[in-house]
Structure formats: C-alpha cells, structure tokens
Amino acid sequence: AVVSTQSTGKVFATMDKLSAYEDLLAELCTLFQEGHMLMSKCNLRSGFESVSADRLPRQGVHEVKAITTLVINEANDCSVQSREPEKPKLRKRKNVSKKEDERGNSPQKENEKKTSQKIVPESEEKEKDTEKEELIKLPDDPLNWFGLLSPTALQQAQERFRAAIARSVELCNLKQELSKDIGEIENMRANEL
C-alpha cells in the first residue's frame, strides 16, 4: 500500500509513542516485582501474612479515605494527586499515683464509687451500643494498618507502589493517545486505498 507523507509522519510519531508505552510497561512490571519482593521480606521478618489482604479494610466495618486520587482535565488527561496522611494522635498516659490526689480522692474511694453506680439494664445498653455503632476509622496512612511501627521494608514497598500508581496513570494517558492515533492511521490508510 502506498503511504502518503502525512500518514508516514503520523506512523513515525506513533511508533515513538509505542516505544515509550513498552518502556513504561517494563518499568511498571519492575516496580511491581520490587514492591512485592519487599513485602515478602517484611512478611519473612515480621511474621507470616503480617502484610496481607486480611489486614485490609472491610466494608461495613472500617472507614478509610484515599490519600492518592486523580485529577482529570478537560482533555481527559489524568494526573495523580496525593495528600499528606494525618499522623495518628498519641494518647497521653495519665500519671496514676498510689497517694491521694489534691481533691482527696484515692484509688480505693474511686473504686467504691464505680461499684455503687447505677446498673444500666441490658436493653438500654444495647440501644446505646447501636447508637454508638460507627465505622472504625483506620489510620490515614495505609502503612499503619499493618502495625504502628512499620518496618523499613514496608515503607520502601509503599514507595515502589506509589511510583507504580504514577506510572499506571501515565500509561493510561499514553494508551488513550495511542488508541486515538492508531485509529487515525487506520482511517488514513483506508482513505488512501
């Protein structure tokens, strides 16, 4: 088939994009492999399945907000938008001393107060439980879902997968451009014939 200069130029540009597409795919696969390797390393050190799907949030039980989202412009190009995860608040330990405090309360007196409290019937307790039934809010940073002291290997794995997410988005944008270009080339060739 005879190809005009216009379609030849288009073909060359598309071939360059295809090459970039294959490179991005290879990079994505490498990032995945490295990330999974680091996760396996973490499991080896921290215990079997310490980093596994069992620790993932469950519907109806947990509440989680995404820290990595997408921004889509008018041309349907996607870009990654990440926010800083909120750090878990540290609970302050109360200094409980055996001696009486300033108000004159002692631990023994406090225990007596607790035992003399009115006993709430079970039905009222259940009503209170259902009112208080809320989703468990998991830590903002997914790293903390697998324990507060996250191993270095897990942190490195997270970096790999974040990079993999960015590559996936780039790959998606390139795929859309290629799909459009290949369609145009097919049309051009059909018209030339």
Partner 1 sequence: MSKVTMAKSHLMGLVGDEDTCTAFLLGGIGELNNAREPNFLVVKKDTTIGEIESALRKLMGRKDIGIILINQHIANDVRHIIESHTAAIPAILEIPSKEHPYDSAKDSILRRAKGMFSVEDMR
CB of 93 to partner 1, least distance (A): 30
CB of 166 to partner 1, least distance (A): 9
| DSSP secondary structure code for residue 4 in this structure | -
What lies within 8 Å, CB to CB, of 38 at 6+ separation is 153, 154, 156, 157, 160
109 vs 180, beta carbon nearer partner 1: 180
As a whole number of angstroms, the distance between CA 151 and CA 153 comes to 5
Phi-psi region of 168 (alpha: psi -120 to 50; beta: other; left: phi over 0): alpha
Query: Strand, coil or helix: what is 65?
Result: coil
Assigned token pair, 155: 């942190």
CB of 161 to partner 1, least distance (A): 4
**Binding residues vs partner 1 (CB under 8 A):** 1, 3, 8, 11, 14-15, 18, 21-22, 25, 28-29, 32, 35-36, 39, 51-53, 55-60, 62-74, 76, 78, 81-82, 85, 135, 141-143, 154, 157-158, 161-162, 164-165, 168-169, 171-172, 175-176, 178-179, 182, 185-186
15 vs 120, beta carbon nearer partner 1: 15
81 vs 111, beta carbon nearer partner 1: 81
As a whole number of angstroms, the distance between CA 45 and CA 157 comes to 14
106 vs 176, beta carbon nearer partner 1: 176
Give the rounded distance of the alpha carbon of 75 from its chain centre. Answer: 26
36 vs 128, beta carbon nearer partner 1: 36
